[in-house]
Amino acid sequence: MTKSTASRFTSLKAYKQLQDHFEYCSELHMRRLFSIDPERHKRMSLEFDWLLLDYSKNRITDTTLKLLFELAREAKLDDAIQAMFKSGKETGHSSLHTAIRNRDSDSQNTEVELTLKRMSSFTEQVHNHEVKGYSNKAITDIVNIGIGGSELGVQSVCCALRPYHQPNALDMHFVSNVDGANIEETLAQLNPETTLFIISSKRFSNAETVTNAQTAKRWLLAKSNNISSVAKHFIAITTQHEAARSFGITEDYTFKLWDWVDDRFAIWSATGLPIMLSIGIKHFNDFLDGAYEMDEHYKTAPLEENMPVIMALIGVWYNNFFKAESQAILTYDYHLSDLPKYIEQIDMQGNGKSVDREGNTVDYPTGPIIWGGNGLHTQHAFYQMLHRGKKIIPADFIVSMRTHSVYQEQHNQLFSNAIAQAEALMRGRNLQETITHIEHTPGGFDQNDIDALPHRVYGGNNPSNMLLMQRLTPKSLGIILALYEHKTFTQGAIWGLNSCDQRDIELGNSISSMIMNDLRNDTIPAGQHDASTNALIKHYKKTVYPECKHSV
């Protein structure tokens, strides 16, 4: 049972000052802010390594930032940041993933170091074609079976770093959906003699993952006719080694996870083995190093020069004062197509909460809805809403400047579109500018143009951040992912949330188990579900299993 309503955040002195300040800022147009302050973009930009953050296209002033930094200090953000990097239950944080990417020999956890060495050794063996299947043929394909943090982050990183895929690496496949079509279509491409499965499951008990793993096991045994073949074709990444052994996986093929690593951040642990297998040991270490360098920046930089803190505070400004309900992630690099989904998971699973860390129900908005997409596809899907809709939707543009393709000129077009969209969102186009634009169009004005004028005016004043990478590399991707992890943690700390706590699917899983039993039985226990759910179960059984009797 939740406790009384919490309002500590809204009781802070800086919060009340920001409320008063909002009344002034809410009517400001960014065009005006740029026109009176030519140096605005210089003050409101920050570089870290090969990454540039330009946050000048936001509905903020110097006073806004000053008050936001005061808010952070009143919320004791500095203390929360330092606590996050310390181990021990006394910190109140259940995830210490930052320790995994700290490869400093003076502070490296021995367990982590040994696991990384095992991952590296195994990767070398695979790349040297020393890992063979039951028929003594070299492994050619890897299938990662997992869900949530055991799949989404891994797949998005493998997709993003495809240009770094090693020539001697294996083909990577991902199965997460319990819909049988996912694994059926994947297995149809593969040869059981040369396929290696990685079962990535913290507890080795997730119903969807175990179901897919059992299907893969039956597929293998149907060809090998030998139970011992399982030991050559399955790897487990889990905290539950005994469950892996019961499945038939040897200790040599079992990689350890730790309870102190939250699923959303598991890519930095042994869960990232498919990433290392794909891009190689050196590039995986570069990936870790990029995240570690952002960790150090977050831990040591003053709040006013701290990239995750700045982005987080601007997000709080929109979320809690403008009452923005969502945040768009817009990537302009072909290989970053899956990144918005992963950032969505990091943020919404972390801060999508209505109860604070003490168990009190909060009385203010917390995490926003995170959504987005990749490049020009999104411009033709939902930018009408960004430009002309009635909802304020802050956007983050994540853009690479150099491409891995030989067609840099085409990438120039992509870059131009990203920068143009950010400018158009900010500036808009007023009536006089619209008329001038039409007058300079071949054919000039006609009656249709006059009638359409209201539809061709853009109000502008739509906020965005611009993140420019020199090039998408393992290191720069590590920096970006750690940046969004720390942005999420910062907002959670200010709102009084435990961003590392994740209980999102417990209720749904328990009801799902009951419904699975209902599908197996002729009757459904009275009072177990509502009338609508009972009717849906009965309809499903009648359609899929018409020969059976059904009653509710």
Lowest mean pLDDT among 37-51, 56-70, 77-91, 351-365: 77-91
| C-alpha to C-alpha distance for 308 and 291, rounded to whole angstroms | 12
Residue at 290 is within a domain? no
Phi then psi dihedrals of residue 231, to 5 deg: -65, -25
Chain centroid, CA 159 distance in Å: 13
Residue at 285 is within a domain? no
Strand partners, 465: 396
| C-alpha to C-alpha distance for 440 and 134, rounded to whole angstroms | 72
| C-alpha to C-alpha distance for 382 and 421, rounded to whole angstroms | 12
Q: How many domains does the chain have?
A: 4
- Section 258-273 average pLDDT: 91
Same domain, 329 and 349: yes
Phi then psi dihedrals of residue 437, to 5 deg: -60, -45
**Tokens, residue 334:** 């072909």
* CA distance from start to end of the chain: 31
SS3 content of the chain, % helix, strand, coil (to 5): 55, 15, 30
Same domain, 20 and 60: yes
Question: Contact at 8 Å (CB) between 524 and 552?
Answer: yes
pLDDT at 504: 61
How many Cα atoms sit within 13 Å of 62 on the Cβ side? 7
pLDDT at 91: 42
Structure confidence by residue, pLDDT tens digits, 518-545 = 999 988 898 899 999 999 999 999 999 9
pLDDT at 280: 97
Same domain, 129 and 238: yes
pTM of the full structure = 0.95
Sorting pLDDT into bands at 50, 70 and 90, what band is 87? low
Query: In terms of Cα–Cα distance, which of 483, 328, 330, 477 is closest to 414?
Result: 330
Residue at 500 is within a domain? no
Same domain, 363 and 509: no
Residues annotated as catalytic are: 380
Same domain, 196 and 221: yes
**Tokens, residue 537:** 């179960």
DSSP state at residue 167? T
Chain centroid, CA 187 distance in Å: 27
Same domain, 76 and 201: no
Same domain, 421 and 509: no
Sorting pLDDT into bands at 50, 70 and 90, what band is 443? confident
Same domain, 221 and 193: yes
Q: In what order do the strands lie in the sheet with 464-471?
A: 45-48, 51-54, 464-471, 395-402, 326-332, 369-374
Structure confidence by residue, pLDDT tens digits, 210-224 = 999 999 999 999 999
Specify the pairing of strand 464-471 against strand 51-54.
antiparallel
Same domain, 362 and 483: yes
Residue at 25 is within a domain? yes
Give kind and range of the element (H or E) at residue 514: helix 506-520
Same domain, 39 and 123: no
Same domain, 304 and 443: no
Residue at 2 is within a domain? no
Across 446-473, b (16+ Cβ under 10 Å) vs e yields eeebeeeeeeebbebbbbbbbbbbeebb
- Section 278-299 average pLDDT: 97
Same domain, 231 and 350: no
Average pLDDT over all residues of the chain? 93
Domain hosting 331: range is 9-86+297-426+463-495
Strand partners, 362: 6
